[in-house]
Copies of this chain bind each other. A is one copy, B any other.
Amino acid sequence: MEPVTVAFQGEAGAYSEAAGLEFFHSTARTVACHTFEDVFAAVSSGQVNHGILPIENSLAGSIHRNYDLLLRNELFIVGEYHHRVNHCLLGLPGVRLEDLVQVHSHPQALAQCEASLAQLKLPGIAEADTAGSAKWLSESGNRKAGAIASRRAAQVYGLNILVENLEDNPANYTRFLIVAARPLEVALSNAENFKTSIVFSMPNRPGILFKAMSVFALRDIDLTKIESRPIAGKPWEYMFYIDFAGSDQSPACARALAHLEELTIFLRILGSYPRHQINY
C-alpha cells in the first residue's frame, strides 16, 4: 500500500494540517502548499495521493474559493472531517501570560477570540495566517508577543500553550474535504452512511431549482448543504453545489441523479464518501 501523503494550504502547524493528521492518523506525511490551487496541483500531478481543503466553518460560512476550484479541477471527494477549532494562545518558553502586551494571528482567529482578548486586555495584530504567526513568534524571540494558533503549531515551533480554547464560541467547527485523483470505491453494504456531493447548472427558468430539489425530496433523500456560485459571463446565473445523504451507488440516489440529469445543462458528481458524524 502506498504511504499516505496529504497536501494542505498554509504553513506547518496550520489547522488544515492538524485536521489531516487527525483524519489519516499521525503517521501520514503532510506537504505544506502556498495556495489552495497548489493543493489541487499537488494531487493532480501525483506528488501526493491526497489533499485536505477547508470547505465551511460553522461560524464564518463557506470557503467559496474551494467550491470554484472543485469545479475547475478533475479531482474527487473521498472523505470529510469535522475539526473542532481550538484556538491556543502561544508564547515563547518561559513567557507568562502577564508578560504579553499584544497577540498576533489571522484576522478571523482574532475575531473569534475577541471577547477573550478584551478580557485579557490584549490588542490583536493581524497577520496572514495562524501558523505563520506562531512561526514568526518562534523566530523573532519576542517575549512580549503571543500568537493564536493550533495546538500542533505549538509543537512544531517549540512554543508553550498559555491558554487553550481561547475562542468565544465553542461551537467552532471546520468541515474539511479530502480529495484524491480517483473516486472512492463504495461498498453498497454501508452506503447509507455515505454522503454525495454534486455540482450542476440549469437553464434560467422560473421554478427550476424547486424541480431540482424535488428529485431528492420525492425520494426522501436528505439534502445536507446547498451553495451557489456565479457563472462567469452569465450575470445572476449560478452553479449549484448540493450535498445529500447516501451513495451514488444506492438505487434511490442513482435514480434521483438520473432524474436530475433531465433538468440540468451540466451535472458532475464530485464524490461519494463516508459521512463524518459527531455529537455537538
Contacts and interface: CB of A to CB of B under 8 A. Distances in A.
A5 interface: no
Nearest to A237: B58
Chief secondary structure at chain A's binding surface: mixed
A226 interface: yes
Contact of A209 (B64, B223, B228): B223
A59 B235 CA distance: 8
A173 interface: yes
A230 interface: yes
Interface in A211-234: 211, 213-214, 216-217, 220, 222-230, 232-234
A94 interface: no
Nearest to A174: B235
A206 interface: yes
A171 interface: yes
Contact of A226 (B58, B228, B229, B230): B228
A197 to B, nearest CB: 14
B64 A230 contact: no
Contacts of A235: 58, 82, 171, 173, 280
A57 interface: yes
A169 interface: yes
Interface string A173-207: 10100000000000000000000000000000011
B233 A206 contact: no
A60 interface: yes
Interface string A36-63: 0000000000000000000011111100
Interface residues of A, number: 37
Interface string A80-102: 00100000000000000000000
A206 B226 contact: no
Given A213-B210, A216-B210, A217-B210, A232 B64 contact: no
B232 A206 contact: no
11 contacts: A57-B230, A58-B235, A60-B230, A207-B222, A209-B213, A209-B226, A210-B214, A213-B213, A224-B236, A226-B226, A235-B280
Given A235-B58, A235-B280, A206 B230 contact: no
Given A171-B233, A206-B222, 20 more contacts: A56-B230, A57-B230, A58-B232, A58-B235, A58-B236, A59-B232, A82-B235, A169-B232, A171-B232, A171-B234, A175-B236, A206-B220, A210-B210, A210-B213, A210-B214, A210-B216, A211-B217, A213-B213, A224-B236, A226-B226
